[in-house]
Structure 1
Amino acid sequence: MTDDEVVEAVRDRARAGSLPAPAPPAAVTEAEQTIGFPLPPLLRRLYLEVANGGFGPDDGILGVRGGACQGDWNDLAEIYQEGPDPSGQIPAGLVPVYDWGCTIWSLVDFRDPTGPMWCTHEGDCWPQGINLAQWLAETMTDTLTVRRLLASQPASVWPPL
Structure 2
Amino acid sequence: MTDDELILATRARVAGRGLPGPASAEDVTRFERIVAHPMPELLKRMYLEVANGGFGPSKVLSLTDTGKWFGDRADTAMAYDDFAADPDYPLPPGIVPLMNRGCAMWTLIDFRTPDGQMWDWDPNLCCLPHALAPLEQSLAQWLTDWLHDVMPDGPPHRELSSRDCPRW
TM-score computed with the length of structure 2 as normaliser: 0.82
The match for 1:132 is: 139
2:148 paired with 1:141: yes
1:14 and 1:146 map into 2 onto residues whose CA distance is 19
After superposition, the Cα gap between the structure-2 partners of 1:146 and 1:128, relative to the gap in structure 1 and judged at 3 Å, is: farther
After superposition, the Cα gap between the structure-2 partners of 1:148 and 1:104, relative to the gap in structure 1 and judged at 3 Å, is: closer
2:91 and 2:44 map into 1 onto residues whose CA distance is 22
In structure 1, runs of 5+ residues without a counterpart are: none
Cα deviation, 1:100-120, whole Å, max 9, x if unaligned, reads: 122211100000110000001
- Matched residue SS, 2:151: coil
**1:19 Cα offset (Å):** 2.2
In structure 2, runs of 5+ residues without a counterpart are: none
The match for 2:26 is: 26
Greater mean deviation of Cα atoms: 76-85 or 101-110: 76-85
2:153 paired with 1:152: no
Identity of aligned residues (%): 40
**1:69 Cα offset (Å):** 2.6
Alpha carbons 1:13, 1:19 under 8 Å: kept: no
Alpha carbons 2:3, 2:42 under 8 Å: kept: yes
Which residues of 2 match residues 104-143 of structure 1 at below 5 A?
A: 104-122=105-123, 123=128, 124-143=131-150
Aligned length: 156
1:103 and 1:44 map into 2 onto residues whose CA distance is 25
2:154 and 2:17 map into 1 onto residues whose CA distance is 30
Alpha carbons 1:119, 1:126 under 8 Å: kept: yes
2:61 paired with 1:62: yes
RMSD after superposition:
2.1
**1:141 Cα offset (Å):** 2.9
Cα deviation, 1:29-65, whole Å, max 9, x if unaligned, reads: 111111111110001011111111100113x100111
TM-score computed with the length of structure 1 as normaliser: 0.85
Cα deviation, 1:87-134, whole Å, max 9, x if unaligned, reads: 233211110111112221110000011000000111211110100011
Alpha carbons 2:13, 2:147 under 8 Å: kept: no
Higher gyration radius (CA) = 2
Greater mean deviation of Cα atoms: 126-135 or 86-95: 86-95
